[in-house]
Amino acid sequence: MLAFDSHVHTRFSDGTIFYNGIADLKELQLKHGFDAFTITDHNTTKGLRYTRRACEQLGIPFIPGVEISTKEGHVAAYGVERWDHPAYRLPLVEALELLMEQNAVIVPAHPFDGRMGIGNLIFEPAIKRMIHGFEIFNGASPRQNLRCTRKAGNLPGELAMYAGSDCHSKVMFYRYHVELDCNSTKVDDILEAMRDTTKVKPVGSLLEILRWIGDYVPAEIGRRKLKRARKGVEVPELFS
Ligand SMILES: [Zn+2]
Ligand SMILES: [Zn+2]
């Protein structure tokens, strides 16, 4: 069994993880004891090389990921090495086709989070054929979790159900995560298991909403403060 947070933002988009370099990853690993690590920065893969090397140093399998802003909403994808299309320019279908060319594992993020989710499109046969799962639990959007559970709770079997923290800081990391039925630490095997509806288990509960009220808002204020304070400050490089 491999446990990991499937939705993580870092300093390479609008998050703060890696502000302290590899120390951040070490701290998170010590605290949560996950078996693999991925990042899903917004519309960029520029953090992949950096994160891959950090994971190599700690001996943790690294799953390359990205979160793409399509015209119809956000989509997380794994196994993607390069993505540099600007946000909100590509229609969903076009983005999915490009991801399929890269043989990506495709998981619409927070589908029922209002304007940022692709919503009922996950039920469209043409779309459903191109995706592997959907995010039933998202750490940044309790409302979507309620709506998604209600609307898409009957999709299991057809699509894998994912849970990710959507953290933009260390505080929220791992709030939701997945357990993957996979005994290998090879990335190709992990990606293969991620496509299998029977092998992905979302971990977390709707009651997270209570913790969300206590943690998310302060974490978000803290992140904004930190980002402002860091503006213009050179971030120390992880590797020299
Ligand atoms: Zn998103
Ligand atoms: Zn996100």
Ligand 2 center to residue 8 CA distance, Å?
7
Residue 240 pLDDT greater than 60, yes or no: no
User: What is the SS3 assignment for 107?
Assistant: strand
Ligand 2 center to residue 68 CA distance, Å?
9
Query: Which pLDDT score is estimated for 239?
Result: 63
Q: Are strands 62-70 and 37-39 parallel, antiparallel or unpaired?
A: parallel
Ligand 1 center to residue 9 CA distance, Å?
10
Q: Which pLDDT band holds residue 156 (cuts at 50, 70, 90)?
A: low
- Give residue-wise pLDDT tens across range 76-133: 999 999 999 999 999 999 999 999 999 999 999 999 998 799 999 999 999 999 999 9
Ligand 1 center to residue 117 CA distance, Å?
7
Residue 69 to residue 85: CA distance in whole angstroms: 9
Higher pLDDT: 226 or 38? It is 38
CB contact set of 233 (below 8 Å; sequence gap of 6+) = none
Residue 111 to residue 195: CA distance in whole angstroms: 18
What pTM was computed for the model? 0.92
Please give the CATH number for the structural domain made up of 2-230: 3.20.20.140
Ligand 1 center to residue 69 CA distance, Å?
7
At 143, list the tokens. 């409302």
For residue 170, which of 59, 30, 43, 2 has the smallest C-alpha distance? 30
- Give residue-wise pLDDT tens across range 8-27: 999 999 999 999 999 999 99
* Residue found by looking up tokens 């299991």 in the block: 156
Ligand 2 center to residue 145 CA distance, Å?
14
Q: Which ligand is nearest to the CA of 176?
A: 2
Cα torsion through 26, 5, 116, 153, rounded to 10: -170
Asked if residues 11 and 47 have their Cβ atoms less than 8 Å apart, the reply is yes
Tell me, what DSSP letter sits at residue 158? T
